[in-house]
Amino acid sequence: MTAIALTGLRAHAVNPPNILFVMVDDMAWAGGSFQMDPNIPESKSDYHQTPRLEQLASQGMTFSNAYGAGPMCSPSRVAVMTGKSPAQLQTTDVRQSHYITDLQFTNYFSGFPLTPPQSNYYFANETTIVEALKAANPAYRGGYIGKYDWQPNGNFEGADYFKDHCCQTASPSDPSQLVSMTAETIQFMNAQVAANKPFFAQVSFDATKAQLNPFNQAFGQTIQDFQALPRGTKHSDPYYAAMVKDMDTHVGMLLDQLDTLGVADNTYVIFTSDQGASWDPGNHQQNAPLYGGKGSLWEGGLRVPLLVRGPNVAAGTYSDVPVVLTDLFPTFLDLAGSTQPLPPKVEGTSLKPILMNGGDLPAGQNSLQRAYGPNGELYFHYPHYVGRYLPNSQGGYAFTPLVPGDIATPSSAVIDGDYKLIRYYGENGAPDKLLLFNIKENITETADINSPLNLAAQFPEKVAQMNAKLGTWLAGVDASLPFDVKDNFEMVWNAGSPGSEAYRWRSVNDVDFYDREVWIPHGGVTLPAGTPGANPTRVAAAPFQPGLPKNAMSFDGNDGLSQRYFQVSDPKLPTVFDGDHSATFETWVKFDALNANQLIFEAGAAAQGLSLTVGDGDGDSVADEVRFRVVGKAGNELTVTAPMNSFADPTQDFVSLTTVVNDAPGARFIELYVNGALMARADGTANFAMLDWDSFYRASLGRLSAPDATYSDTIGASAGSGPLPFLGGNLQGDLAVFKFMNKALSGDDIRNRYNAVLSPVSWGLDQLAGQSAVPIYRPADLTLGAAESSKLLVIQERNDVLKSAISVDALVTAGSGPIAPAPGNLPQLAAGTAFSSYLLHYDPLGSSAGLQLVTGSVTFDENIIALLFGGQQLALSDKSLGSIGNYGLTAPRGVTWSNGDYMTIDSNQRTLNFSLSTLGTDLLQFRVLTNLATTPGPPTDPSPSADADFNDDGVIDAADLLVWKTSFGMDAGADADGDGDSDGADYLVWQRTLGTSVANVVEGSPTDFNHDGQVDGADLLVWKSAFGNNSAADADGDGDSDGADYLAWQRASQQVNTAANAASVPEPAAGVLIMAAGLGWLQRRRRVRRIA
């Protein structure tokens, strides 16, 4: 764990207080003989006996509306230790779901319409309460005894004494390990008092979680005692009652030891449970009067007993203020006297003002204030299934909740004052189910949507308001939502925008699922550079492609990143929700050298997965071939290999490597594209079974993820027959962009995406006349017959600076006239020359054997400086001057200079006149170099890439950008490049068309909430008033005012501030600052899908 600087402690008249924190497991809110709510007689057990807890309650304060941070053990416990919600910690289920071979995972994480997020299990970078206390006051000593439930442990969390009893074997002599845990806790307290050190002692009893063997959960005599007692209506199990009683006895032993040590008056004792009791299908009264139980967001799964005794806590008091166990982190610090701010992103708030005020809020305060809960709101997130698909009476399968009658699908909830809203996520495109309850008037809930207890239909505005707050919280804490793999989605990792998390590379597209968005170093986050498994280094980059970032992730052969998995389907039987394994990967990479095998990326395992590697495939001792290999679970395998440096130099420039898996029945194939051009394809044979390559094994970038027992990771598709991946080497080079889509892109899609990264095809052109024309799009393939036309096509290739001198066929200077081949040595164009290059290409229509004449002129924006028209010079210059994916290797290129052919340069040095001929079965090509062009050329007409006026109002402005934001990844409403969808390529078209005018971005902005023509702090105040209440600050058109609208305002206001002499934004009110601080946790990433 990482300790934070929390220096500063209030002066104490006495020694700093001790804290004894007792957490039990799965105890019902009304599971003890102490009454939880003075107004609800049923809020205590009618059979269990807990006299020592009754005593504790009488000596301190009982919180009647206390909630666990989540409805399962692991999430709630890690939330208590860090002050952060399970949603923020990406740990919403038990730790076992971290392992893909565990039954918890295999039963509840695949084979459903929605895929739940796996739980994180490792929190090396989090600050625990022990670390925070010791940072505030180094005198504190921390001890942790009992069930722990997460990693790492021991001294990593700042504990001076640590003993994890989780999952160890209990026995009749040490039932539920109560004896050993209590003894160790007493030993720890004794040692600290003897050393005159204040202590924080946490004991996490495994009781009152039922054991498989009931004789291991309680002493035999206690069981006999309860067997002799009359059974209750609510509770009647003598074995369980005995465990509760034995737990109570051992809590009493701890309290007695505080008396013996003489420190009881200076010790805060806190007792609680991690979440509610299990929902026993055979005993629906287990949690009565609450509905539901463990594993649900009903009150029975969330409400917990919470008792606090200590200095200045009034005895025998109750508090009905809604609190959550994440509040304990700041409470412990406050009670210990810390005066420093809380660690970043802590969601809880201190309960000390209530503890010191008889259970009431301080005068003038209506609620506790938390991040995302300025009015005391409490939030919960359990995006998991609590049921399975089981055989039904009709011979099929049906979803069957573990508890009959429960909804049992992924859910989230918010408590706001008297009301509680539960959102059950819609499956298969259906809308979410929203249930609303007034839990103050009626503490009972129900899964019956049509019940009169469900007030959603009666109060739609309340539902909308609370649902908006819930959505803002989920976005703010970066919660992972249940994921529909049937949805088309795209992940984009851009080195220019890696995200703000250290040692992470995060997608700029937000799909509301953390593990799908983030690459992490597989060998550990603190390894130094050059160490196997270290994190790649983000470096500056200078690509000639304007659409690439100015940074890259540099891999040195030791570095590697890993991701949880790439999943594009869910073919689990018996119910197949998505059997399509199609996918596309796009990689922009530059290599240090091509002298060894290198791994670019892989996913899956040897017998089920895929990989993209580089090696020597043709035996020429140069590792310049790229190999894409896919192996399906059924053993189907396809492999393609192609050179990547025929027309590009991947050691000097970034090259685009795009790989496609098409799993369409009857047409299964894989493809490999280099710089937008198809270079290799392999088709499945007749009756070829599915290419089910995707699984839940880890994926790797640059270096294989460290093999471990959890994943048994191997390089994807490295088993089977045929050409195997190029093994044995790791990436040495730079990655600028890596993209992943869960669909197979077409060749046109890939060409358009590649072109979107380059300058427009007409860049730097002024006028064209005669038989010259700019193509609608830059071709990816210029081999003979691939781009036939009746005109000579003028194609801008790149804007760049020569890295070394090149030979040209003609240098052009002022006053140049006719151009013709010259004998002798070719002239040189010097290194360091800034240039724009153009390929002029004429491939006559059809295949006539006669000469075909083409005549016309081209005027460039900048002076012409050189021409290359010899076939050899063209081929030699492709790698330094070109950008086309495939120029061809067999057909003759260049100008043949038949009788009457000519090229001349006008005196302005910008106009090229030509009259050239070629056989109809051949083609002619030549290159023109000009000084570096800085302006776009004339739009091509007709051209899909010329239309960035998405709302068809005749103006290209910010209103079009809003259309693009709405359509991005969803439909073709902002399709500027004619590829049938709205994506980043269309944004680049809009951006280039718009130019650099900031005013256009702001004018007419929907974030001008007060309609005064300015985007400023006054609009922020409108947003504050409208937040969660109405649509007065609805910037994104979704009908409400929420965190997304704040982000829209924030971006617009920043654009205003970028403009000259923009007015400053006034400081918002405190309540808004709380929200803004939370929203600041988010990266400015595109949200491309939401399940809400």
d(CA 1079, CA 929): 49
d(CA 555, CA 944): 38
**Cis preceding-peptide flag for 823 (omega within 30 of 0):** no
Q: Which of 96-110, 614-628, 1021-1035 is predicted most confidently?
A: 614-628
H-helix or E-strand spanning residue 103: helix 103-108
**Cis preceding-peptide flag for 574 (omega within 30 of 0):** yes
d(CA 16, CA 311): 11
1088 pLDDT more than 70: no
Per-chain mean pLDDT for the chain: 86
Confidence of residue 2 (pLDDT cuts 50, 70, 90): very low
Burial code of 846-880, b = ≥16 C-beta within 10 A, e = fewer?
eeeeebbebebbbbbbbebbbbbbbbebbbebbbb
Confidence of residue 992 (pLDDT cuts 50, 70, 90): low
What does the domain layout of the chain look like in residue ranges? 18-381, 398-476, 490-744, 758-931, 996-1087
DSSP state of 124: T
Confidence of residue 1 (pLDDT cuts 50, 70, 90): very low
Q: Tokens 């394994």 map to which residue?
A: 581
Confidence of residue 486 (pLDDT cuts 50, 70, 90): confident
Q: β-pairing, 323-324 with 66-67?
A: parallel
What average pLDDT does the segment 81-89 reach? 95
> 223 versus 579: which is more confidently predicted?
223
Confidence of residue 885 (pLDDT cuts 50, 70, 90): very high
**Tens digit of each residue's pLDDT (9 = 90 or more) over 693-714:** 998 888 999 998 765 444 456 8
Dihedral over alpha carbons 213, 217, 222, 227 (to 10 degrees): -40
> 132 versus 1020: which is more confidently predicted?
132
What pLDDT sits at residue 1035? 80
843 pLDDT more than 70: yes
What average pLDDT does the segment 727-754 reach? 97
pTM of the model: 0.83
Q: Tokens 């939880």 map to which residue?
A: 36
**Tens digit of each residue's pLDDT (9 = 90 or more) over 135-192:** 999 999 999 999 877 655 555 577 899 888 776 677 888 888 999 999 999 999 999 9
What average pLDDT does the segment 1029-1053 reach? 71
DSSP SS3 for 515: helix
Confidence of residue 53 (pLDDT cuts 50, 70, 90): very high
What average pLDDT does the segment 993-1020 reach? 59
**Tens digit of each residue's pLDDT (9 = 90 or more) over 386-443:** 988 887 777 777 888 888 889 999 999 999 999 999 999 999 999 999 999 999 999 9
Sequential DSSP letters for 1031-1079: STT-SSSSSS--HHHHHHHHHHHHHHHHSTTPPPPPPPPHHHHHHHHHH
Confidence of residue 267 (pLDDT cuts 50, 70, 90): very high
- In this structure, whether the domain defined by 996-1087 belongs to CATH 1.10.1330.10 is answered with yes
What pLDDT sits at residue 1090? 34
Q: Tokens 């109809």 map to which residue?
A: 920
Burial code of 994-1018, b = ≥16 C-beta within 10 A, e = fewer?
beeebebbbeebbbbbbeeebbbbe
d(CA 1004, CA 99): 51
Confidence of residue 119 (pLDDT cuts 50, 70, 90): confident
d(CA 961, CA 1003): 12
For the domain 18-381, what is the CATH code?
A: 3.40.720.10
What pLDDT sits at residue 1071? 34
Structural fold of domain 398-476 = Arylsulfatase, C-terminal domain (3.30.1120)
What average pLDDT does the segment 968-977 reach? 75
Residues 6+ apart with CB under 8 A from 560: 521, 522, 523, 533, 534, 536, 700, 701, 702, 703, 704, 705, 730
d(CA 184, CA 187): 5
List the single range of 713-727, 769-783, 934-948 with lowest mean pLDDT: 934-948
Residues 6+ apart with CB under 8 A from 366: 375, 376
d(CA 486, CA 507): 20
**Cis preceding-peptide flag for 208 (omega within 30 of 0):** yes
What pLDDT sits at residue 9? 43
Structure tokens at 709: 């027992």
Residues 6+ apart with CB under 8 A from 785: 843
What pLDDT sits at residue 981? 74
**Tens digit of each residue's pLDDT (9 = 90 or more) over 632-684:** 988 899 999 999 999 999 999 999 999 999 999 888 999 999 999 999 999 99
Could you tell me how far CA 766 lies from the centroid of its own chain?
Answer: 45
d(CA 1057, CA 1049): 12
List the single range of 103-107, 376-380, 854-858 with lowest mean pLDDT: 103-107
* CA-based max dimension of the chain: 117
Neighbour tally for 285: CB within 10 Å: 14
1033 pLDDT more than 70: yes
List the single range of 121-125, 223-227, 377-381 with lowest mean pLDDT: 121-125
**Tens digit of each residue's pLDDT (9 = 90 or more) over 944-965:** 333 576 765 445 666 677 787 7
Q: Which of 296-305, 993-1002, 1009-1018 is predicted most confidently?
A: 296-305
What average pLDDT does the segment 719-732 reach? 95
**C-alpha distance across the termini of the chain, in Å:** 34
What pLDDT sits at residue 524? 56
Confidence of residue 979 (pLDDT cuts 50, 70, 90): low
List the single range of 283-297, 355-369, 483-497, 828-842 with lowest mean pLDDT: 283-297
1080 pLDDT more than 90: no
744 within 8 A of 716, measured Cβ to Cβ: no
1002 pLDDT more than 50: no
* Percentage, residues of the chain above pLDDT 90: 63
d(CA 294, CA 70): 9
d(CA 351, CA 339): 15
Sequential DSSP letters for 847-899: --SSEEEEEEEEEESS-EEEEE-SHHHHHHHHHHH---SB--SSS--S----T
For the domain 490-744, what is the CATH code?
A: 2.60.120.200
262 dihedral zone (left: phi>0; alpha: psi -120 to 50; beta): left
Confidence of residue 869 (pLDDT cuts 50, 70, 90): very high
List the single range of 65-74, 504-513, 522-531, 1032-1041 with lowest mean pLDDT: 522-531
> 8 versus 1017: which is more confidently predicted?
1017
**Tens digit of each residue's pLDDT (9 = 90 or more) over 550-580:** 999 999 999 999 988 888 988 776 777 788 9
998 pLDDT more than 60: no
What average pLDDT does the segment 309-330 reach? 98
665 within 8 A of 684, measured Cβ to Cβ: no
What average pLDDT does the segment 257-282 reach? 91
**CA separation, residue 719 to residues 604, 702, 833, 965 (Å):** 12, 19, 49, 43
What average pLDDT does the segment 78-105 reach? 87
133 pLDDT more than 70: yes
What average pLDDT does the segment 300-311 reach? 98
446 pLDDT more than 50: yes
What pLDDT sits at residue 991? 61
Burial code of 718-746, b = ≥16 C-beta within 10 A, e = fewer?
bbbeeebbbeebbbbbbbbbbbbbbbbbe
Q: Tokens 């539902």 map to which residue?
A: 463
Residues 6+ apart with CB under 8 A from 719: 606, 607, 631
List the single range of 114-118, 392-396, 689-693, 733-737 with lowest mean pLDDT: 392-396
What pLDDT sits at residue 116? 92
**CA separation, residue 801 to residues 543, 655, 798, 832, 930 (Å):** 11, 17, 10, 6, 12
Confidence of residue 592 (pLDDT cuts 50, 70, 90): very high
104 within 8 A of 96, measured Cβ to Cβ: yes
